[in-house]
Amino acid sequence: MSTEHSPYFNPAETISRDELLTLQNERLKKIVRYAAANNGVYRDLFAKAGVDVNDFNGIDDIQKLPIISKETFRENYPIGLCCRPQSDLREMHMSSGSTGTPVVMPYTQGDLLQWADCMARCYRMAGAYPSDPVQITPSFGLFNGGFGMYHGARLAELFVIPTGSGNTERQIRLARDFGTKFLTAVVSYSIRIIEVMERLNIKLPSLRAGIFGAESLTDNMAKTVGEAMGIEVFNIYGMTETGGVGTLGCDCADHSGIHVWEDQYYLEVVDPITKQPLPDGTVGELVVTSLTREALPVIRFKTGDLTRILTRERCACGRTHLKIDSISGRTDDMLIIKGVNFFPAQVEQALLEIPGVHPHYQIIIEDRHGVKDIRVNVEADENVTGFMVEKHLKERLGFSPKGDIFAPGALPRQEGKAVRVIHKTIDE
């Protein structure tokens, strides 16, 4: 851990690219052999791919390893991919399982420390120092958000206000009463907080920054939240399979991409169809290999997230770890309507370009006997018309959706992740 006044939590954040590459190579060879020695599923996957782990040469051979996915987790539910006996485990979290069998991530004590260290780096990158009040609004439970923020805050020696999800009025009053400086939340919940702050006519002058994750954070949404709250907005990244929120990284004060903790994870960007590597700067699917996790290391995990590597050069903030672009969508979230391919995040980005449009919207996919159409409902000021919205989306996305304009506050709210895409089957 770095000193209290350093802008870096861990000295590894600024080691040279050569040092990073050497470290990654050593850890990659070690983790592949560790997985094969301690888990039969990995051992069989490597053998089927013709990989002799004793001859595995690290980064140069990574393309020889098989790619795993959420289905690999689900086929081995609950912890068939685990490399340690249950007696060594100290915690577990899992995905919602809303689209099938949930993905479970177990943790050893070492894994919890690794998670906390990654998250503490994110806090420091956002400007949080020991004793700064941080309010944790994600839920504390099977979803990893609340606990990840908590583990990291404890290691970073912050003053934790563990509100968890819901009861927005109380959230705001506690933030005011305890002088919250850093707010952690699901992206869409920040909009709900802003609405209630306006209704209660409460300001939060102590609030300096928001650390938002769990959903795609578009540039326009970040700008909307930042201006409404008067804060700096940071985009944090991590997922259940990599060990939870913050494990992969966060953007820094330069706001020119998400730093990924390369001493902990090796990243590839591949073509979603062919799985062949893509050059830096090209958008593709992110594949992640964890280099230090003990209970369940993921090796060439196909995330489904679409992004690109922006740069491997040293950042203005001094960190040397590569930067990726904000997640532009997921391979399984792509919508195809009237021959046009697009992602929900593109709709959000376009809507928030229209003056008077509020950051609450619904994308409704209507299926009439196999023929799909789209309706986009938005909240907006009185001067915004449906024609204005339709025209702008036509210009930005290439098609004209149906939809309605609603008064601010009219569309349904959620205390956690917003439900943006709704599928409806219409029998007529």
Tell me the C-alpha to C-alpha distance, in Å, between residue 339 and each of 220, 332, 398, 406: 26, 17, 10, 28
Cα–Cα dist 428/408, whole Å: 31
pLDDT value for 362: 87
Kindly report, residue by residue over 200-231, the tens digit of the pLDDT. 999 999 999 999 987 778 888 899 899 999 99
| H or E stretch covering 347 | helix 344-351
Q: What is the mean pLDDT of residues 134-155?
A: 95
Q: What is the pLDDT of residue 347?
A: 81
Q: Where in the chain is the domain with CATH 3.30.300.30?
A: 335-425
pLDDT digits (tens, 9 = 90+) for 161-193: 999 988 999 999 999 999 999 999 988 888 889
Spatial neighbors of 7 by CB under 8 A, at least 6 apart, are 124, 317, 318
Identify the CATH class of 335-425: alpha beta
**C-alpha gyration radius of the chain:** 22
Bigger pLDDT: 165 vs 270: 270
Torsion sign over Cα 379, 382, 387, 393: negative
Q: How many helices (H) and strands (E) does the chain have?
A: 10, 21
**What integer pLDDT is reported at residue 174 of this predicted model?**
97
Average pLDDT, the chain: 91
Which region among 178-182, 250-254, 342-346 has the lowest average model confidence (pLDDT)?
A: 342-346
**Tens-digit pLDDT profile for residues 278-328:** 999 999 999 999 999 999 999 999 999 999 999 999 999 999 999 999 988
Does 243 score more than 90 pLDDT?
Answer: yes
Specify the range with the lowest mean pLDDT, choosing from 12-16, 167-171, 336-340, 408-412. 336-340
Model confidence pLDDT, tens digit, residues 38-84: 999 999 999 999 999 999 999 999 999 999 999 999 999 999 999 99
CA 11, 281, 397: angle at the middle one, nearest 5? 125
Q: Which CATH superfamily hosts domain 1-331? A: ANL, N-terminal domain (3.40.50.12780)
State whether residue 118 is helix, strand or coil. helix
Q: What is the pTM of this model?
A: 0.85
